[in-house]
Amino acid sequence: MNMIGRRKIWYALSLLILIPGLISLMLRGLNLGIDFTGGSKLELHFEHAVTVEQVRTVLDNANIGKTEVQLAEGNNVIVRTHPLDQSQRNQLLESMKGQVGELSIRSDQTIGPTIGQELARNALLALLLAAIGMVAYISYRFEFKFAVAAIVALFHDILVVAGLFSIFYIEVDSTFVAAILTVFGYSINDTIVIFDRIRENLRKKKKDEPMDALVNRSVTETMTRSIITVLMVIFVLVALLFWGGASTRVFNLAMLIGVISGAYSSIFNASPIWYDLKQIEKAQRRAKMKAA
């Protein structure tokens, strides 16, 4: 497979998704849920099983605005709304009892917007520290150009996930942050496997073998392994997305997009970026020799 020869096509396909996503992120950002904007969180225990639709109908009739409803074990329901005063809270609970069924309050708390801001800040810090650690480790075990190519591919995956969530204005909660961090850690695996094969083949490289042929051969040798591994993960995530419950839907969707994007960037972006960096280095070396 002529992976390197067609690398501009792979870059263009990535940009086709990244550019609309970046524009959407700049113009309207993400649809932040109550975990980030702050609000009230009620955990209610009903005497009998209820559905999300029943609870949401009561919330819609109360004109509370943006809400989140999650079913939990043991007939428990978690409701998140904007900050409610005591009279609104009492009125809502009375409506729940009358229209859905008898209930008791398991927990009642107000989430401040500073918690969401702290969560986002910590997530960005975690991403930054993870990126620095990866660059240091990959540079030590491989070389700095491998590290740069891997980090570019990882941020490609993060931006694809965030961009698509922004384009479709899917509401994000705290599990979205967990998914982003997981994608960041997971996607590096395939990239490292391919880089390891390139490094191995570099040691056995024949003098007359062009670099692009070596990279193509390395990617092809690991292609089957990469596809099978990713498909197994995708099967699980699709099952969780449809049957895993509402509470983990955002996490599963973000993971699914991230894993697919990670597989693509590992195969079609990371190695071609490394190849281009090597070509730039080669051209610079030639220029220096001519100048000398």
Q: At what angle do helices 249-265 and 174-203 cross, to 10 degrees?
A: 20
Selected from 3.30.230.70, 3.40.605.10, 3.40.50.150, 3.30.70.3400, the CATH number assigned to the domain covering 40-110 reads: 3.30.70.3400
| pTM for this predicted structure | 0.79
Alpha helices of 142-210 — where are they, by DSSP H? 144-167, 174-203
- The domain segmentation of the chain, as residue ranges, is 4-33+115-291, 40-110
Amino acid present at 151: I
Give tens-digit pLDDT for 168-226: 988 888 788 889 989 988 888 889 999 999 999 988 877 788 888 999 999 999 988 88
Give tens-digit pLDDT for 8-52: 999 999 999 999 999 999 998 888 877 777 788 888 888 888 888
Give the contacts of 132 (CB within 8 A, at least 6 positions apart).
Answer: none
Q: Which residues pair with 105 in a beta bridge?
A: 44
Which structure tokens are listed for 262?
């990670």
| Cβ contact 226:262 at 8 Å | no
Selected from 1.20.1640.10, 3.20.20.70, 2.102.10.10, 3.40.50.740, the CATH number assigned to the domain covering 4-33+115-291 reads: 1.20.1640.10
